[in-house]
A and B are shown apart, each in its own frame.
Chain A
């Protein structure tokens, strides 16, 4: 029935000591991963390093921007159920300044390895010449600066307002957050879509897909929801949110994870389907190469693992309401999100190799490298360390949000 009466819970700090080895492990993994990836990469294979690093960065970028999206959506829809977990989302999103630092090598050390349109003169390719008004180096850097600035400012503002409300309990901050969200959501969509165009789609400047932005967005929203589920359940397991976080919250998050699993499947299929039907060489090449040789197994694994497995793991109610089951599904979704980005980025490295060696593309295929793993561990480690550091600086939930009580008493009427 109605929310339980009684005093609201007091602000709760993160108890670092209850997290075991993780607070020490993350910075170490981050430093070791990044340093060894750069060391190994520069010595053995700089191009591999560039692509591995882009892959790791893309994982961090999509998850952090997904968290920002959920924060904005929470405010825009005036949601109540998610108040309890909102601080986690705000904090994940607020890792963006760290992500900007991580973007520096990407944008200043590797661009010529990654985006080979930058290295080609005018007249090299007629399609590239058509795209020059957009794909030119100065404009590229201006856009990148704009995206990163927007994400940083938005993430920073939302966390700041929320933290400020912990201090003074001013309900006007909730209203301000909501009104600003209406303006930020279109900006978010534009920044995220064009960042996807610039960093991932432009890896192959011939190829284009108008569904690219929403495809990446589906993966981003899905994986950040999976991360939120893992973090909240992890914190609950270590004695945080005592008596506040319950099975109903897991149920709602599980429904959203399920919904975005289906959404990803829908978008991924639509993108493939339209290009299959239209049969335009510049478009189909993306899928033709990814269905060649060993990449074909990889593609099938992506479809099965990214859509069918979480679909079946999450479809029943008990699956969403049992912590270990929903956490298993979330971990799997995060893994498959990495696989998805790997599948997007890495074939371009193999194509690059084939071009350099003058071999037909079909002679190349899935070729894992230890640098992929090191870069991923490095970026994720650094971001996770930043997340814990930020989370420890305030209450782990917005303790004076006017809708906190509704969030605590949320129930799924089945």
Chain B
């Protein structure tokens, strides 16, 4: 059984501090790279601007969630209390805006929150269990004291030699080629079982 050659993911470089990571990110942004990312142990204020992020699109999902919530609340109240089972309580109208407002508000807020979370997960491609950068040993320090930039091979501007030199110019150290995972190997027990079959 032969393992297929692992797929090349990109080039990673390590930086010494948050500020050198920030300066490097600004230069990568200015060079026109699109598919790349920075990794740090903590959020760095101003990194979104240094990476050239535009406004997040999450608010669109929030709006959709909010509108859904308001509509749901209206239908829920109007259908149950004015159409399906009209009942006079305390001489109040079957349907009135006053008692509906809290429900409108709460459901709008609830589904806005859902919309926001779902939008966030969709836009960040989360949740995912694994990522090619985990195949790089030094990367383990990202949750401790490591600052990294990874340029992805999928970017049209990526070219192995030039990109390596670029990362060196930026002051990156330990520049490493990162590979996608190989095809999953069968579990040894299962492989043994298959061998017996």
Contact = CB atoms under 8 A, between A and B. Distances in A.
A413 B46 contact: yes
Interface in A216-270: 269
A1 B101 contact: no
B101 A273 contact: yes
For B46, B90, B98, the residue with the greatest tally of chain A CB atoms inside 10 Å of its CB is B98
B45 A269 contact: no
Interface residues of B, number: 9
Contact of A272 (B45, B46, B98): B98
A276 B46 contact: no
Interface string B79-105: 000000000001100000011011000
Given A1-B46, A273-B99, 5 more contacts: A1-B45, A273-B102, A277-B99, A279-B90, A279-B91
A279 B46 CA distance: 54
A414 B98 CA distance: 35
B98 A276 contact: yes
A413 B45 CA distance: 7
A108 to B, nearest CB: 41
A276 B101 CA distance: 13
B169 to A, nearest CB: 23
Interface in B138-173: none
Contacts of B102: 273
Nearest to A266: B105
B83 to A, nearest CB: 22
A279 B102 CA distance: 18
Contacts of B101: 269, 273
Contacts of A414: 48
Nearest to A279: B90
A414 B59 CA distance: 13
Nearest to B56: A414
B143 to A, nearest CB: 22
13 contacts: A1-B45, A1-B46, A269-B101, A273-B99, A273-B102, A276-B98, A277-B90, A277-B99, A279-B91, A411-B46, A413-B45, A413-B48, A414-B48
Give the 5 A-B residue pairs with the shortest CB-CB distance, closest first. Answer: A276-B98, A413-B45, A273-B98, A1-B46, A269-B101
Interface of A: 1, 269, 272-273, 276-277, 279, 411, 413-414
Contacts of B99: 273, 277
Contacts of B48: 413-414
A354 to B, nearest CB: 27
Contacts of A413: 45-46, 48
Interface string B167-189: 00000000000000000000000
Nearest to A276: B98
A273 B99 CA distance: 7
Nearest to A316: B59
A279 B99 CA distance: 13
Contacts of B91: 279
Nearest to B18: A1
A278 to B, nearest CB: 10
A133 B91 CA distance: 36
Contacts of A279: 90-91
Nearest to B96: A276
B98 A277 contact: yes
Interface in B27-76: 45-46, 48
Nearest to A1: B46
Contacts of A272: 98
A1 B23 CA distance: 13
Nearest to B91: A279
A276 B100 CA distance: 12
Contacts of A276: 98
Contacts of A277: 90, 98-99
A277 B46 CA distance: 49
Contacts of A1: 45-46
Nearest to A273: B98
A273 B101 CA distance: 9
A114 to B, nearest CB: 31
A413 to B, nearest CB: 5
A259 to B, nearest CB: 15
A269 to B, nearest CB: 6
Nearest to A317: B55
A269 B102 CA distance: 10
A162 B45 CA distance: 32
A263 to B, nearest CB: 14
B35 to A, nearest CB: 24
A279 B89 CA distance: 12
A71 B91 CA distance: 47
Contacts of A273: 98-99, 101-102
Contacts of B45: 1, 411, 413
A276 B48 CA distance: 49
A272 B101 CA distance: 12
A1 B49 CA distance: 12
Interface string B96-137: 001101100000000000000000000000000000000000
B34 to A, nearest CB: 22
Nearest to A269: B101
B89 to A, nearest CB: 11
